[in-house]
Chain A
C-alpha cells in the first residue's frame, strides 16, 4: 500500500509546478498508470482524496488512463499485449518476454486555474 506515498509525491509535484508555472488551483489531474506499475488505481484515488484535502488540489478531478501492457518475445520476436508479468508469449509460449509498455506511472497533464 504505497499508493499513499505516491499521492504525496503527486502533491509535491503539483506544488512545485504551481510555483514555477504560476497557478493556485488544480482542477483536474490526468495520470497514466500501467497495469504493471504495481499500483492499484482505486487505492490511488482514495489516497489522492485524502492527501489533497485542504491543498491546492482539494476536490480536483482525478482521471486515470490505463494503457495496455505489451512485451516483445526474445525467442520469436513477437510483440503482443499481455495481462501479467508471468504470461507466456502468445505465439511461441516462451517466457523470455521483455516488457515494452505497462510500467508507466506518470502525471500526463493538469488542468489548473
Chain B
C-alpha cells in the first residue's frame, strides 16, 4: 500500500500495461513498516500532545490542486462526470464527443474497477482515452489523475472529461482538480436520488437527467427530481438529455462551451489584476 496516494499498489492500474509503480515518482513514498516511522528516535519516549488541525484529505487536495494548476497553465477545461453505475455516462460521453470533437481537442480519462471496455468505446470515436482500473477502489483520486495526465498528455486548450467510477458516494469527497463535477441521473432511477445521496449532488454544479426518451414508460417526474436536487444544492444547473435520441445535447454542449469560456475569462481577469 502506498500512503501518499491512498491507493493500493498492485490494484490500481493505469492503462498501457504498466502497473501503478512507485519507482518513478518525483515525491518520496513511504511504505508501511520500513519507512522513517519505523526508526526509533532516542530521547523521545515521553508522551506529548500535538495540535494538528490537518484536513484528512489534504494530500488528495494537494494533488488535485497540482492538477488544477496544470489545467490552468495549459488552458485545459476538465469535467468530472459522476453517477451511479448504469446511468448512461459512457453513452452520453460518446455522443458528446461525436459533436464536440469536431471543433475541439478532447481527451477522456475512464475510471472503472475492471476492464478497458469504456475506454475502448471512447477510442472508437477517435478521441484519445486512457483507462484507470481502480481494482477494489471505489473512486478516482487526484494522484491517479496526475499520472493519467502524464500519459495522456492533452494538448493546450483541450477539453478533458474524467468519467469517475460508477458510485454516488465516494467520488464526492475526492477533488480531482476539475472545473466542475457533473452528476448524471437517469430517469430509470428514483426522483429521490439527490436526497438519498446528498453529498454528491451538493458537490456537483450540474445535474444531467439522462434517458429522457424513456420518460413515457417510467414514473419519473422531472420537476420533482429537480426540486429534490435543489433542496440539496439551490444553485445546481439541471439539463435534460437523451444520449440515445440526441435530445438536449445541444444545450449540454452549449453549457460546456460557456463554462469553459467563463473559466478562462476569469483566469484572464485575475492575471490582468495581478
Contacts and interface: CB of A to CB of B under 8 A. Distances in A.
Contact of B37 (A1, A10, A56): A56
Given A85-B199, A95-B230, A106-B56, 18 more contacts: A2-B169, A5-B141, A8-B1, A9-B60, A18-B36, A23-B41, A55-B33, A85-B231, A96-B234, A108-B51, A108-B52, A109-B52, A109-B53, A110-B52, A111-B47, A111-B49, A112-B50, A113-B46
B58 A13 contact: yes
B48 interface: yes
A109 B137 contact: no
B3 interface: yes
Contacts of A81: none
B158 to A, nearest CB: 29
A27 interface: yes
Interface of A: 1-2, 5-6, 8-15, 17-19, 21-24, 27, 31, 36-39, 54-56, 74, 84-86, 88, 95-97, 99, 105-113
Given A5-B7, A86-B198, A24 B41 contact: yes
Interface residues of B, number: 51
Contacts of B60: 9
Contact of B231 (A1, A10, A15, A86): A86
A113 B45 contact: yes
Contacts of B169: 1-2, 38
Contacts of A24: 37, 39-41, 44
Contact of B51 (A11, A86, A97, A109): A109
Nearest to B31: A15
Interface stretch (B70-78, B170-178, B261-269): B170-178
Q: For the complex, would chain A's binding face be called helix, strand, loop or mixed by DSSP majority?
A: mixed
Contacts of B66: none
A109 B7 CA distance: 25
Contact of A107 (B32, B48, B53, B202): B53
Given A2-B139, A18-B36, A38 B52 contact: no
Nearest to B202: A85
Given A15-B36, A38-B169, A111-B49, A22 B41 contact: yes
Nearest to B230: A95
A105 B36 CA distance: 26
B249 interface: no
23 contacts: A2-B170, A5-B137, A5-B141, A8-B6, A9-B6, A9-B58, A12-B30, A13-B59, A15-B3, A17-B50, A24-B44, A56-B37, A56-B38, A84-B198, A85-B199, A86-B195, A86-B198, A86-B232, A95-B230, A105-B173, A110-B52, A112-B48, A113-B48
A31 B202 CA distance: 23
B270 interface: no
A113 B37 CA distance: 12
A84 B197 CA distance: 11
B169 to A, nearest CB: 7
